Structure 1
């Protein structure tokens, strides 16, 4: 694993980490016996080489150590610093082990791990072999178009392997040996797990609190869900408590916007509408076809892909599996972040126009060419998944309004509530064009629409003021 990965800020695609955890992890004192850690690392290698050098690889969410042995071998020890990182540890280990055993994906090799902080090291830990190579981010800007296309082809091949895996439930992957600590789990079928070593268990998430501190939040487990219908009904069960709504929405929203907002009544009304819509979307054949339980990387940015420094089209490692989950394919499929695809891009969008290019300034020309380059890479990715990974192509081609509802599974911030509000309004207005049968089972009054526009405008103004 590249040390650069550990020294960089955690990627923003990991939505399971509470925004304030970086501050909390910095304050948390870890009782770690570094000497015993070095001895343990040495014992994991043939010949028990001596650890002669230790480099710190701290990040905002974990402590890391690059351990160099006298025979040249290098290991990385990662010490999770936050409660969510600790909860993810068992699942991350299972994910890495499963991918190494049942796919050709080049993921780090787990040598040792322990989720009990009372062990001889004095903290939870994960020890892996250091993956050779450099992060793709260091080389990407200088690669030829053909080299970039070659990397895209190889990433699509890896994603195709992931899409072809079968899992019995939605949740997170665990080793069966650690499953006794989980409230519920489902073993993988023997044909997909000949060693009977893996199972699907719950997803963990830190609950929101009014003071935004990790120590006061509650670590909750969700799932696993044996069917897509069970997973979908989870949304309807998220009837946020009155106290939580007041703390996480009313205080923040009204303090920022000074807009009258009754979070109890308005959120309850939105959830009622959403609960009516959920079974309709869940039973839609278009959604059902792309709802398979799928294990996926959470984004694939440039610094999660390790390549050979001399042959950059040779992918040596894929890292960053800490928060990998098994979710419906339509929630997993996305344009990999390393492509640089615009958030607004939709499958099949036309290439940017070069009309009037000669009259543009040098800066404008450079921007247009960069957009052209990004669009070309994205188009090539679309062509590859159409040819080799049609389920992902179909998931990306599905109208997002048919699946966006499932992303609002936790109304923990004012932005989430307004986002759900906007989504439900658009669905009710576009019901027929979305190909949904019958009439929309809910409507918004003119007063509700006016109130939403007012809240949305003032919330946007507040965000702009805060960021300026």
Structure 2
């Protein structure tokens, strides 16, 4: 059952919730002044596309997905608020950025040439008030305390019904520079290394401050908190009354219906409290909520089949072993504030000096969590393979006998791997505590913790498989806690049943990977596809479905089960 660990990679990728970046819709003219722009009255509310999700289509539960991304508010009032926030007389143009999955954002041009970004959360963004209030405080803390280039906020309101706009909003400065996505593939290796070094230095500043509690970060005036939270900077306790730790804002506290269940949401003063609350959250979700459609892997009679009873059993086992599987290193466990979605459209660089990071955007749902919860590797490295066994740079490949296309592909893979290794080497040298996180994330203990976080959606098969293997290392894990003997007695029949379920989950993951590779750009990542590919995607999925069912089903009953589990409309 050791291959279970390798299968976690697919789960980790599906776990990462990625906000789609704001794309730049136009470049404004320079030198615009009030004397050159005639004032006119524009009813921005007539632009229906401002309020709806227009970026593409959904291949599953489309009506619900679109409804969760539609916001009704008064754009005319938002434009006035934006103008007032920067001392302008009037907003003269509004352009919508490409839709995000959780927000709408607009570039607003003022009569005096100033530009600001206005951001409005979708209904699926998170808890009302808390999500916006935490995002604003987090950006401010990142900019002023962590010395990180986060956008400056000019105005905001987290109480939708308290003002004329009729929705929560944030008015912030436009990001300086260009998205890293526009230059990363074109810049030379030395400039890539400069970007990596700049990011290492930023993350080093994030690691310089830990917190007394786990949860979301807020201004003290915006939450009722009985906890006397503080942060520790380079070993010095700082009690800053301006900022406090309050309820968690991470997506796993909101997604798949979790927002509506009555659970403890923090803040938590200990790691054990925080992780036990996660177990209780997943338990309640499993007991109360309708399970979501499974798109992390294919399900069916010979594959993985979600089982609420098995989920609850696994969550009970999680609570029993929790203290034993935690890492001993304090840095790995301590609460840190982190930006965990560093893809190439959330990082802006100086176009004349791409090695200089000018802005990091999209701080929504960033919260204070144990360091091992975070992805230590930035998403723009696009690394989806297993971690290298060592940090030795790989030699240049032998290109003799290869076609030009094969040579190009081999050189791309060579550069890709060595850039990733260079990143890990920099991390090990400059941020050894963060590097320890990458080592811990290779262990079965981390796999158990990770799977417990999303047990409601998936994970019980792999969880129990890892748990069986844990028996071999239990004495080592419990040497400090004194928890012995191993608390579970798996019979031979239990082990065979668990192995069979785990093998089915692995097979479902591998089938999904094959279909994704076959479909290429037509694969609807997270159920979403561009407008122009929608019809072709649906046709290809229908064909894939027929082929899979024909291959797997051995009876009409099994065929019906595969039909029932098929995740797409």
TM tier, shorter chain? 0.7 to 0.9
Match of 2:432 in 1: 390
CA distance in 1, matches of 2:293, 2:171: 44
Q: Tell which deviates more after alignment, 359-368 or 80-89.
A: 359-368
CA contact (8 A) 1:172 1:202 kept: yes
User: What are the equivalent positions in structure 2 for 1:206-217 lying under 5 Å apart?
Assistant: 206=254, 208=256, 217=260
**Alignment counterpart, residue 319 of structure 2, candidates 270, 275, 294:** 275
The yes-or-no answer on 1:340 pairing with 2:382 is yes
Give RMSD over aligned pairs. Answer: 3.5
Structure 1 contact 67–77 (Cα < 8 Å) conserved: yes
For residue 373 of structure 1, report the CA deviation from its aligned partner.
1.2
The separation in 2 between residues aligned to 1:123 and 1:397, in whole angstroms, is 43
Matched, 1:202 2:247: yes
Question: Structure 1: where are the runs of 5+ without partners?
Answer: 8-18
2:356 to 314, 325, 329: 314
Which residue of the partner structure matches residue 145 of structure 2? 102
Are the aligned partners of 1:22 and 1:61 in contact in 2 as well (CA < 8 Å)?
A: no
Q: Which moved more, 1:414-423 or 1:25-34?
A: 25-34
1:200–1:224 CA contact under 8 A, matched in 2: yes
Instruction: Write the deviation string for residues 219-277 of structure 1: whole angstroms up to 9, x where unpaired.
Output: 86522110223223334535624963784289999x94136969354234323332222
C-alpha separation in 1, matches of 2:339 and 2:295? 32
Residues 415 and 394 of structure 1, relative CA distance in 2, 3 Å threshold: same
Question: Please, which runs of 5 or more residues in structure 2 have no aligned partner?
Answer: 1-20, 27-59, 517-543, 545-569
**Partner residue, 1:41:** 82
Q: How far does residue 420 in structure 1 lie from its aligned partner after superposition?
A: 1.5
8 Å contact from structure 1 (residues 74, 129) kept in 2: yes
SS class of match (1:285): coil
Of the candidates 322, 327, 333, which is equivalent to residue 291 of structure 1? 333
The structure 2 residue matched to 1:455, chosen from 491, 501, 504, is 501
1:79/1:123 contact within 8 Å kept: yes
Pairwise CA distance, 1:73: 1.0
* Alignment partner, residue 52 of structure 1: 92
Report the secondary structure of 1:112's partner residue: strand
Matches within 5 A, 1:1-80: 3-4=22-23, 23-26=64-67, 30-46=71-87, 48-57=88-97, 58-80=99-121
Distance between the aligned counterparts of 2:187 and 2:412, measured in 1?
14
Aligned to 1:12: none
Task: Give SS of 2:165's match.
Answer: coil
Asked if 1:374 corresponds to 2:393, the answer is no
Is the aligned partner of 1:88 residue 2:94? no
Q: Secondary structure at the match of 1:76?
A: strand
Aligned length: 445
**Distance in 2 between the 1:20 and 1:122 partners?**
27
In the alignment, which residue of structure 1 is the partner of 2:300?
257
Tell me if structure 2 keeps the 8 A contact 1:347–1:396.
Answer: no
| Conservation of the 8 A alpha-carbon contact between 2:282 and 2:454 | no
Is residue 5–residue 303 contact of structure 1 (8 Å, CA) maintained in 2?
no
- Alpha-carbon contact 2:108-2:115 (below 8 Å) kept: yes
Relative to structure 1, the CA distance from residue 262 to residue 166 in structure 2 (aligned partners, 3 Å threshold; closer, same or farther) is closer
Which residue, out of 420, 445, 467, partners 2:491?
Answer: 445
Alpha-carbon shift at residue 436 of structure 1 (Å): 5.3
Distance 1:243 1:379 in 2: 40
- TM-score relative to the length of structure 2: 0.69
Contact 1:42–1:51 (CA<8 Å) still a contact in 2? yes
Judge conservation of contact 1:22–1:60 (CA < 8 Å) in 2.
Answer: no
Q: Report the alpha carbon displacement of residue 278 of structure 1 after superposing the two structures with TM.
A: 0.9
1:294-305 alignment to 2 at 5 Å? 294-305=336-347
**1:186, CA displacement in angstroms?**
4.1
Alpha-carbon separation, structure 2, partners of 1:82 and 1:306 = 27
Q: What is the DSSP-based 3-state SS (H/G/I as helix, E as strand, rest coil) of the residue aligned with 1:208?
A: helix
Change (3 A) 1:449 1:369: farther
The alignment's TM-score, normalised by the length of structure 1, stands at 0.83
Task: Describe the superposition over 1:421-445 as per-residue Cα deviations: whole angstroms up to 9, x where unpaired.
Answer: 232233234546x665465433433
Structure 1 position 143 matched with structure 2 position 187:
yes
Match of 2:448 among 405, 411, 433: 405
Contact 2:261–2:284 (Cα < 8 Å) also in 1: no
1:419 to 446, 462, 474: 462
Residues 370-410 of structure 1: per-residue CA shift (max 9 Å, x gap): 22212221222222222221211222223432333322344
Residue 177 of structure 1: CA displacement?
A: 0.8
Q: CA deviation at 1:163?
A: 0.6
Task: Indicate conservation of the 8 Å contact 1:136/1:303, yes or no.
Answer: yes
Deviation at 1:462, TM superposition (A): 4.9
